[in-house]
Amino acid sequence: MQLLLIHSDYIEYETKKQTPVAEKIEDSLKSGRLEEALTVFTAVESVDEANPEEAIEKAASEIEKVAAQVKTNRIMLYPYAHLSSDLSSPKIAVQVLKGIETALSGKYEVKRSPFGWYKAFTVSCKGHPLSELSRSIRPEGTTKAAAKPEASGEKEEVVSEALKAEGTARS
Amino acid sequence: MQLLLIHSDYIEYETKKQTPVAEKIEDSLKSGRLEEALTVFTAVESVDEANPEEAIEKAASEIEKVAAQVKTNRIMLYPYAHLSSDLSSPKIAVQVLKGIETALSGKYEVKRSPFGWYKAFTVSCKGHPLSELSRSIRPEGTTKAAAKPEASGEKEEVVSEALKAEGTARS
Ligand SMILES: [Mg+2]
C-alpha cells in the first residue's frame, strides 16, 4: 500500500460519476469535507492481497503516528490509484479502505471518500515540513519496510522526509 | 519521469521555507496561482539523467496532448517527489523542470513552482473523467513507454485512465 499524507487546512470532495466498479454508497458519502485534518491518499496494492488484515493494521498504525506528529484527530481516507502502478483488485481495495476506517474510528473523526467514483476535490496543504509525507506499507518479510526502524530516530526520519518532500533524496 | 496531471479550477502555492537544496528564486516565484489550468505534479527520476533533453521533449509533448484534451492553455509545473521512489539529483530535476517550462512557454501560459522549498498549496480538481491522469515518461528503448501507442485509440486510453483514476486497473 502506498500512502500520501497531507496535513490539510481542509479537504473536500464531491462525487461526480460512477466508474464501472463504483462502490455502492449511501447519500451521506456523496460529498464530504474535513477541516484541520490529515488527508490520506491511499493506493491499495497487489502485495496487500495476501493478508489484507495485516495491511489494514500496519496502515492504521502509520496513520496514527503521523496524526500524532501533526496533532490532528481528523482523518480523511481518500482512494488514490495514481500512487501505484501495481494496484490490488477493487474488491480488496474497498475491504482495506473500510478496514482502515474502522480501525481508526474509535480514536479519530474519520471520513472516507468512496472508491470507484469520479470526484471533484479540493485539498489545501499547510506547507510545514511535516505536512507532506509518504509511506510504503509492506507485509512482514518483504524488502521495503513500512517505516524506518525506531533506532534511526525521529530526527533522521524528519530530515529524510523533508528531502523527499522536495525532490532531493535518492533512494 | 512521473507526471500527475490535474485539470484544476485553480492551483495556488506559497513558499514557506527552504530545504538544503532549495533553488535560488526571484521574489516573483515565491507564490503563484493559476485558474482553469492543468496542474502538472512532476517527479524527475534517475532514468531521466542520461538524456535530460529527451526527457524534456517527451514530457512537454505529453503535457501538450493532455492540455488539448482538457482544452486549457494554462499550465502549472509543480515538482512532486512523492510520485517516485527513484528520483534524479536535484540539479537534473531543476534543469528538466526549467526545460519543460521553456518548451511550453511559446504556446501556453506557464508557471512553475520552485524546487526545494516547503510550500503550502491548494489545488481544486474538476472531477470529470479526464481531470486526473498520470503518465510515465521513459527514454526510448526502455520497457515502460511514455504513452500507449496511437493505435490503441483515444477511447481505450480514456477508459484505461478512468479505471486507473479510481483504483481499478491491474497493470
Ligand atoms: Mg467545480
| Chain A residues within an 8 Å CB radius of B80 | 167
Pick the residue from chain A with its C-alpha nearest to B97. Answer: A167
User: Ligand 1 mean position to B125 CA, how many Å?
Assistant: 7
Q: What amino acid is encoded at A123 in this protein?
A: V
For residue B152, name the pLDDT band (cuts at 50, 70, 90).
Answer: very low
Choice between B144 and A10, residue whose per-residue pLDDT is larger: A10
Residue B136 pLDDT > 50, yes or no?
A: yes
Give B169's pLDDT tier (boundaries 50, 70, 90): very low
Per-residue pLDDT at B94: 98
The three grid cell numbers given for residue B83, joined into one nine-digit string: 510520485
Q: What is the pTM of this model?
A: 0.86
Rama region for B166: left / alpha / beta (φ>0; ψ in -120 to 50; rest): alpha
Percent of chain A whose pLDDT exceeds 70: 83
pLDDT score recorded for residue A142: 75
Kindly tell me the sign of the dihedral angle through the C-alpha atoms of B78, B38, A42, B44: negative
Task: Give CA separation, A157 vs A18, A42, A138, A144, A162, in Å.
Answer: 39, 21, 18, 15, 8
CA atoms within 13 A on the CB side of A20: 8
Q: What residue has cell string 517527451?
A: B58
Task: Name the amino acid, one letter, at A95.
Answer: Q
Chain B residue with CA closest to A46: the answer is B170
For chain A, the average pLDDT equals 87
Q: Which residue of A has its CA nearest to B135?
A: A82
Cell matching residue A125? 496543504
What's the rounded Cα separation, in Å, for the pair B72 and B35?
10
Query: Is the predicted pLDDT of residue B119 greater than 90, yes or no?
Result: yes
Chain A residues lying within 8 Å of B66, measured CB to CB: none
What separation in Å is there between the alpha carbon of A120 and the centre of ligand 1? 7
- B69 CA to middle of ligand 1, Å? 17
Res. B111: pLDDT tops 60: yes
For residue B19, the number of C-alpha atoms closer than 13 Å in the C-beta half-sphere is 25
